[in-house]
């Protein structure tokens, strides 16, 4: 995916460049940020693994985005979201030297306790020189390996992801193991994903759907062992939002039959669609990518945030070549205020996909941006 991350990473608060300096040992080598063939966004490029699980510092923006649901036995659902971002600042020439903030690393995490009706979220931010030996903040190139203080996301031997974070200010900590059960899902044309009408408005993007998740969650000092299902996106790009787009709506759903459904629309301020897309992969089947004309999001009911006044559709009718569905948020109040890191407010939370007669067909995440304020790229 995913159109959402582009605008955030192009609109960082000015003080972010001064955050968490992090010294480097004498003699360490800082990798150049000039693009090589591994980092260019281009059609026809074959994604190579495990290399492309890692960072692409020559690309302007990049993210690793894990979501899912957890429960103990048949207990109440708990949603989780963890996203690591990398942004190339372009300041290396203006600020030479090993302490120059060539990259910014930041992360968001959230836990939605559906039964309690409570949504908790936290964020972290640091500058990064590009030196992978910097212990407190780095992103490995050869495979997924992200560190931002005490928040980490690593891909271990055998392909499982391991994540760990503590957010005492929000009253939670989370240890995750996300194990693949299916092959990688290459979005778009073999991992080249269009996000606008111009060819350069594209990214390299893949998903890992139907991840088997085991978790240790601590909420307000109470530890729980949980299990569930997850989804992970990894995407890197040089372009931001298509011209005229002010936000987007996006879903990534693990279907109960083992399939995976992705769909998104990029909107203008008046609600008109600038671009749309997505994909469906049935269990054991081939990916069917959607053209912009094949995807439609129609809002059915809104929720208004008491904190920001923003109105978010929390019940949708969604039309794709895979079928006609309804999507309903399992908790309305899942707004995230990330103005301390990305400079924006957005809604992101656990939702259920419904079929005929209201039968639940799957669970996943819904994200909506540009509704509290237009995402500007100034």
- In a domain, residue 309? The reply is yes
- In a domain, residue 33? The reply is no
- In a domain, residue 124? The reply is yes
- Which residues constitute the domain of residue 347? 4-21+49-368
- In a domain, residue 229? The reply is yes
Q: What spatial distance separates the first Cα and last Cα of the chain, rounded to whole Å?
A: 23
Give the pLDDT confidence score for residue 98 in this predicted structure. Answer: 56
Q: Which residues of 262-294 are buried (b: 16+ CB within 10 A; e: fewer)?
A: bbbbbbbeeeebbbbbbbbbeeeeebebbebeb
Give the pLDDT confidence score for residue 90 in this predicted structure. Answer: 72
Give the pLDDT confidence score for residue 19 in this predicted structure. Answer: 30
Give the pLDDT confidence score for residue 26 in this predicted structure. Answer: 29
Cα 334 from Cα 366, distance rounded (Å): 10
- In a domain, residue 40? The reply is no
- In a domain, residue 376? The reply is no
Q: Please calculate the CA angle 39-44-48 and round it to the nearest 5 degrees.
A: 55
The CA distances from residue 153 to 90, 95, 213, 269, in Å, are: 25, 29, 14, 35
On the question of pLDDT at 147 being above 60, the answer is: yes
Q: Give the tens place of pLDDT for each residue, 242-288.
A: 888 888 899 999 999 999 999 999 998 888 999 999 999 999 999 99
Q: What is the pTM of this model?
A: 0.88
Q: Give the tens place of pLDDT for each residue, 205-252.
A: 999 999 999 999 999 999 999 999 999 999 999 986 788 888 889 999
Of 295, 360, 330, which is closest to residue 118 (Cα–Cα)? 330
If you count them, how many residues does the chain have? 378
Q: Which two tokens stand for residue 333?
A: 């109040």
Total domains in the fold of the chain = 1
Rounded to a whole number of angstroms, the CA Rg of the chain reads 19
| CATH (domain of 250) | 2.40.370.10
Q: Which two tokens stand for residue 363?
A: 């669970």
Q: Which two tokens stand for residue 365?
A: 């995440």
- In a domain, residue 378? The reply is no
């Amino acid at each position: 995916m995913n159109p959402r991350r582009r605008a955030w990473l192009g609109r960082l608060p000015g003080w972010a460049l001064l955050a968490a300096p992090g010294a480097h040992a004498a003699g360490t080598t800082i990798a150049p940020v000039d693009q090589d063939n591994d980092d260019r966004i281009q059609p026809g490029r074959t994604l190579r693994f495990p290399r492309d699980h890692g960072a692409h510092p020559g690309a302007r923006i990049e993210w690793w985005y894990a979501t899912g649901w957890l429960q103990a036995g048949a207990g109440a659902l708990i949603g989780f979201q963890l996203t690591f971002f990398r942004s190339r600042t372009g300041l290396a020439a203006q600020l030479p030297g090993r302490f120059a903030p060539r990259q910014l690393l930041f992360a968001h995490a959230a836990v939605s306790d559906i039964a309690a009706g409570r949504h908790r979220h936290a964020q972290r931010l640091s500058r990064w020189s590009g030196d992978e030996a910097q212990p407190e903040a780095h992103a490995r190139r050869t495979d997924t390996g992200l560190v931002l203080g005490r928040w980490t996301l690593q891909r271990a031997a055998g392909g499982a992801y391991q994540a760990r974070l503590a957010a005492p200010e929000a009253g939670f900590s989370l240890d995750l193991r996300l194990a693949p059960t299916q092959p990688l899902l290459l979005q778009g044309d073999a991992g080249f994903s269009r996000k606008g009408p111009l060819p350069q408005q594209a990214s390299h993007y893949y998903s890992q759907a139907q991840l088997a998740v085991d978790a240790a969650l601590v909420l307000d000092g109470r530890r729980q062992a949980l299990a569930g299902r997850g989804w992970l996106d990894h995407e890197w790009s040089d372009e931001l939002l298509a011209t005229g787009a002010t936000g987007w709506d996006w879903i990534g759903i693990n279907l109960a039959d083992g399939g995976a459904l992705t769909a998104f629309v990029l909107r203008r301020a008046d609600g008109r669609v600038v671009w749309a897309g997505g994909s469906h992969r049935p269990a054991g089947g081939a990916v069917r990518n959607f053209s912009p004309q094949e995807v439609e999001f129609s809002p059915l009911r809104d929720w208004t945030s008491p904190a920001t006044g923003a109105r978010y559709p929390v019940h949708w009718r969604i039309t794709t070549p895979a079928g006609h569905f309804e999507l309903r948020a399992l908790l309305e109040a899942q707004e995230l205020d990330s103005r301390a890191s990305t400079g924006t407010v957005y809604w992101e939370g656990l939702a259920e996909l419904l079929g005929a007669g209201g039968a639940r067909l799957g669970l996943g995440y819904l994200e909506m941006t540009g509704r509290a304020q237009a995402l500007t790229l100034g």
